[in-house]
Amino acid sequence: VQRLVVKIGTSSLIHANGKINLQAIDQLSYTLTGLVNEGKQVILVSSGAIGVGMGQLGLAKRPREIQAQQALASIGQSELMTVYQQRFAVYGQKISQILLTHDVLDFPESRKHVHHTMEQLLEWGVIPVVNENDTVAVDELDHRTKFGDNDQLSAIVATRSNADLLVMLSDIDGFYTKNPHKFADAKLIDVLHEITESSLRQAGGAGTELGTGGMVTKLKAAQSILANNKMMVLANGANPSIIFKIMNNEPLGTLFV
C-alpha cells in the first residue's frame, strides 16, 4: 500500500460525555505521521465537526433544525482543525483542510481542481484533512443525498485519488452478521468480497446518538471500493495505532477485497 485514505467516525473522536477524545486524536496524529515518514501518502477523512460543536455549546442531543446543525458544524470544524493542527505539529507533520460537497465532485472542472490540489499536497508530504462542508451543503445534511457521516465521501475520495486502501475506523471491531449491540450471537465477518442485499439487511441502522452513518453507509462505501477493485478495512478506532497493524497485514476487523 502506497497511498491510503483513513476515515475516522464521530464515535471514535468524541467521548460519550461530548468531550473531544484527545487521546484518540493524538494517537491518530502519531500513527499517520509515522506512515508519511515511511514514505506513504495519507489522506484523512474526519467526521466530528457537529459533535465537537455540540460539545462546545454543551448540547447533549443533535438538534433537528438544519441551520442549527450547520452552525454547529461551523463551530466544530474550526475547533477540530485546531486540535488536529496542534497534535500533528507535535510530531512535525503538516496538514491541510479540504472541505467538499457533492456538487464539487460532480462537476468535472471543480473535481479536476480538487484532484490537482490533493496531488500537490501529497507530493509535499502534507496530510489533507477532508470533511464534508456541512455549513454550505444545504441538502447534504438531509438523508436523501447525505454522504452518510463521511462514509461514502471517504470512498469517493479513495477512488478518485486512486488510493490502494481505505481504512475505515469506527466504534466497532468490524462488520458482524448482525448488530452486536443488539444480538449476543453476532459474529465478526473477516473477509467480504461482495456486498449483497442480505449484507445490507445485516447492517441495520446507526448505533449511537452521535454517529449518523451506521453500518449501511459503510457497506455502501465498501461497495464502491470493490467496484473500483480497491480494498477497504473496517476496524475499531478506539486505538488508531491499529492502522500500523493493518499495514502489517495483521488480520483484524473486516477486509473488503
Pattern of binders to ligand ADP over 9-28, x per CB under 6 A? xxxx----------------
- Look-up: residue for cell 473500483? 228
What is the rounded CA–CA span in Å between residue 185 and residue 43? Answer: 36
Is 140 one of the binding residues for ligand ADP (CB under 6 A)?
no
- Which CB, 11 or 133, lies closer to ligand ADP? 11
Judge whether 20 and 29 are in contact, CB under 8 Å: no
Judge whether 155 and 235 are in contact, CB under 8 Å: no
Q: What letter represents residue 257's amino acid? A: V
- Which CB, 122 or 168, lies closer to ligand ADP? 168
Q: To 10 degrees, what angle do helices 49-57 and 66-90 make?
A: 100
Q: Which three cell numbers stand for residue 71?
A: 452552525
Please identify which residue in 99, 172, 233, 255 interacts with ligand ADP, judged by CB under 6 A: 172
Cβ 42 to ligand ADP shortest distance, Å: 19
How many residues contact ligand ADP, by CB under 6 A? 24
- Which CB, 175 or 256, lies closer to ligand ADP? 175
Cβ 20 to ligand ADP shortest distance, Å: 14
E-strand stretches of the chain: 3-8, 41-46, 95-100, 127-132, 165-170, 191-192, 231-236, 254-256
What element of type H or E holds 102?
Answer: helix 102-106
How many C-beta atoms lie closer than 10 Å to residue 197's C-beta?
7
Residue facing ligand ADP at closest CB distance:
207
Is 208 one of the binding residues for ligand ADP (CB under 6 A)?
yes
- Residues 211-250 binding ligand ADP (CB under 6 A) are 211, 213-215
Cβ 175 to ligand ADP shortest distance, Å: 5
Q: Using CB under 6 A, which of the segments 75-83, 112-120, 201-209, 223-231 binds ligand ADP?
A: 201-209
Is 207 one of the binding residues for ligand ADP (CB under 6 A)?
yes
Cα torsion 134, 138, 144, 148 to 10°: value is: 0
Cβ 141 to ligand ADP shortest distance, Å: 15
Given the rule CB under 6 A, which residues bind ligand ADP?
9-12, 149, 170-172, 175-176, 178-181, 202-204, 206-208, 211, 213-215
